Amino acid sequence: MLKAASDRYPDLRDAVRALCSQFPDEYHRKLDEQRAYPESFVDALTRAGWLAAMIPSEYGGSGLGLAEASVIMEEINRSGGNSGACHGQMYNIGTLLRHGSPEQKRHFLPKIASGEWRLQSMGVTEPATGTDTTKIRTTAVRKGDRYVVNGQKVWISRVQHSDWMILLARTTPIAEVSKKSEGMSIFMVDLGQAVKAGLTVRPIANMVNHETNELFFDNLEIPAENLIGQEGRGFRYILDGLNAERTLIAAECVGDGYWFIDRVTRYATERVVFDRPIGQNQGVQFPIAECYIEVEAANLMRWRACELFDAGEPCGAQANMAKYLAAKASWEAANACIQFHGGYGFAHEYDIERKFRETRLYQVAPVSTNLILSYVAEHVLGLPRSF
């Protein structure tokens, strides 16, 4: 495997790699063909405790930081797998930890740590409003000791393979709040119960093997005690979690980037055309070298974001920039990898076209590249707001 100059946490990497090596390319390839969820892989990660890495030890987790969590995600992607099947739990736990009540933490975290419950889903995006989250139309109206939810969500991932979902809904109409970011709240939704009582889940067939869905809420009742934090502050809570999410996705893209570079370097060394390895041509070498430089640079920004996050320092700029750089770098590496495999890059059995599709997602979701540029322009450089 390619040696990355900025590899850290070698023991942790070795342990995650050992687990991932039990799930070789054929496993992920077959699931991709069947569009099936990597159940046994996610179970193995859960049993080994990796998906509870950030849960404090008092609740049965390992109490590790974002840096270690990001290594786990990176190694999954670097092994040829795709963390998209399970990364939701890493950042959803953070939302519960930071904003949940002591009772909620005692209720949920030990069961998530033991693997009895999965908290893999977060329902934010809506069809009519897209990135303009403050305009969401899903409402949660308090009626006695319950909230009644009505509305629609789209692209909500892992709902069919999760026990709980964190849902963002409007609790005060936008016309009645002084700032549009106020008046939204987040809730723990028991998915097993909800599908029997007002939640319809409609899967969306898509480009990658990723379980994602449209959700329709028709008078779904949620116990009031499932509100996380204060009513009306949910948007802020979701934003808090995004830095972790972006940093983890950056690490996944770094993992993808190294995977592509590893594969293309090996192939370019072995494949002989015109009586010499194709990698002897600088027209082949230079794009690969360029991709490696870019993945390494993105990796440094990922570590910077981790350091700041784990020190409790503001890290919005670094988390966003890490995600931006890493998603671009992995995509460029994917392009070089498919290009220099010639026709074979398109064959399923090489796994490149699968990883190529998978890594492409990260320039759109969970936040599009344009929105990161907008964040940096306005919040880092102080340029005038555009929306």
Ligand X SMILES: Cc1cc2nc3c(=O)[nH]c(=O)nc-3n(C[C@H](O)[C@H](O)[C@H](O)COP(=O)(O)OP(=O)(O)OC[C@H]3O[C@@H](n4cnc5c(N)ncnc54)[C@H](O)[C@@H]3O)c2cc1C
303 or 356: CB nearest ligand X: 356
Q: How far is the CB of 274 from ligand X (least distance, A)?
A: 41
CA pair distance 256, 326, nearest whole angstrom: 9
Nearest residue to ligand X, by Cβ distance, number only: 130
CB 127 within 8 A of CB 154: yes
The one-letter code for the residue type at 291 is C
Query: Which residues contact ligand X by CB under 6 A?
Result: 122-125, 130-131, 155-157, 206, 210, 212, 361, 364-368, 370, 374, 387
Among 43, 60, 61, residue whose Cα is nearest residue 52: 61
Sequence-distant (≥ 6) Cβ neighbours of residue 170 within 8 angstroms? 136, 137, 138, 139, 140, 183, 184, 185
Query: Which pair of structure tokens corresponds to residue 79?
Result: 């092994």
The whole-angstrom separation of Cα 140 and Cα 168 is 9
Of the two residues 174 and 297, which places its CB atom closer to ligand X in the complex? 174
CB nearer ligand X, residue 228 or residue 367: 367
CB 213 within 8 A of CB 156: yes
CB of 124 to ligand X, least distance (A): 3
Closer to ligand X by CB, 12 or 159: give it.
159
Q: Of 82 and 374, which has the nearer Cβ to ligand X?
A: 374
With contact defined as beta carbons under 8 Å apart, do 299 and 327 qualify?
A: no
Taking alpha carbons only, the member of 378, 377, 285, 291 closest to residue 333 is: 291
CB of 89 vs ligand X, minimal distance in Å: 12
- Angle (CA) 34-254-94 rounded to 5° is 85
Q: In the bound complex, what is the minimum distance in angstroms from residue 351's beta carbon to ligand X?
A: 19
Q: What is the nearest approach in angstroms of ligand X to the Cβ of residue 242? A: 10
Which one, 164 or 340, has the nearer CB to ligand X? 164
Least separation in angstroms between residue 313's CB and ligand X is 26
